[in-house]
Structure 1
Amino acid sequence: MKCLILSDSHGSQQELQEVIDRHIDEMDAVFHCGDSELRASSPVWKGAFVVEGNCDIPGEFQEYLTKEVKGINVMVTHGHLYNVKMTNVPLSYKAEEEEAAIACFGHSHIAEAFQENKVIFINPGSLLLPRGRREQTYAVVSVVDKLCTVSFLERISGEEISDMRQSFSME
């Protein structure tokens, strides 16, 4: 299973399309964690799963979604409704409720991955306005034989940021 995870692109349709085009042929799913500031009718979303962020037009997208990708439940939300800038607890409860193995979120613009209560949490950072690091980032998550690897890539070059790669057991 391999998924592209994006967030907080804040109106940057061209940059978003470039990243999606770069990886679309090798992905099983594309997820955007909100604050795209684009309409649901935008052609960039063809085949993508998108949630609503606090900067998006209300009602344009769902507040969260859970999709099964190659037998793995992936939950996606923006995070503002779960107070992710302060704590991971409400998001953790929602992921458990959704029986998610992977929970993707944005809002903080801080690229990170961690595992808690057997759920792997991924924030891909921001395509345009990163915090914590200078790189404009997105993530690729792949699962092979119960090993989940999260890679963070730099938007312009598509190069992996090697010191950010993390792997987690899904057993």
Structure 2
Amino acid sequence: MARWLVVSDNHGDREILVSLRQALKPDAVFHCGDSEMEAADPWFKGAYVVQGNMDFDSELPLVETPTVDGCKVLLTHGHYDAVHWDLTKLKLHADEVQADLVFFGHTHELAAEVVGGHVFVNPGSISQPRGEYRQLGGTCAVVTVTADHWDVQYYTRDAQPVTDLDFSFKRP
């Protein structure tokens, strides 16, 4: 079993990233972009991170496709895949790289669903949330990887689980 922190769109709020990593103690960290931090920032050490539309350090990659704990992950911000409209382009991207899980941000709205056999997770924005759950003040996701499931639990800025936002997806 492994626990992964998935976070996005902190927009320069570095301290929330430090706080979450300390409180949640993940085995792996994925940042979906719009950190507004330098690629060399020590917080990124050991993390998978991509560039968002508000990141201007060209050392940050646009896409990462690591295999972690036996799972192929497509990590992207989502702006080049038109995620504000729908998930069609992102699903085609996931098909192309044969991803099990797709982590993306950009919309500032949390989401967890299966599309075309891939589990899509948007952690929402940890600092500038939008949409139905904006009253939570910001969210991130913890994905627990087991032999037969991916469990997605959303957390608030103070590292508290949101009881209504807990999803389980059976692994193929």
Q: Place the TM-score, normalised by the shorter chain, in its bin.
A: over 0.9
Other-structure match for 1:150: 152
Other-structure match for 2:103: 104
State how far apart, in whole Å, the 2-side matches of 1:90 and 1:146 are: 28
Sequence identity percentage: 38
What stretches of structure 1 of length at least 5 have no aligned partner?
none
Q: What is the TM-score with the length of structure 1 in the denominator?
A: 0.94
**Could you report, residue by residue, the CA deviation over 1:76-124 in whole angstroms, capped at 9, with x for unpaired residues?**
0000000001010000011111111000000000011000121000000
Amino acid at match of 1:78: H
Other-structure match for 1:76: 75
The structure 1 segments of at least 4 consecutive aligned residues displaced by more than 4 Å after TM superposition are none
Q: Which residue of 116, 136, 141 corresponds with 1:139?
A: 141
Is 1:149–1:166's contact at 8 Å kept on the other side of the alignment?
yes
Is 1:28–1:69's contact at 8 Å kept on the other side of the alignment?
no
Other-structure match for 2:167: 166
What stretches of structure 2 of length at least 5 have no aligned partner?
none
CA positional deviation for 1:56: 0.2
Other-structure match for 1:122: 121
Is 1:3–1:31's contact at 8 Å kept on the other side of the alignment?
yes
State how far apart, in whole Å, the 1-side matches of 2:30 and 2:171 are: 20
Is 2:38–2:57's contact at 8 Å kept on the other side of the alignment?
no
State how far apart, in whole Å, the 2-side matches of 1:16 and 1:28 are: 15
Moved more, 15-24 or 159-168: 15-24
State how far apart, in whole Å, the 2-side matches of 1:91 and 1:97 are: 10
State how far apart, in whole Å, the 2-side matches of 1:145 and 1:43 are: 32
Q: What is the TM-score with the length of structure 2 in the denominator?
A: 0.94
Amino acid at match of 1:147: H
- Give the secondary structure class of the aligned counterpart of 2:154: strand
Matches within 5 A, 1:50-69: 50-69=49-68
Amino acid at match of 2:59: E
Amino acid at match of 1:153: Y
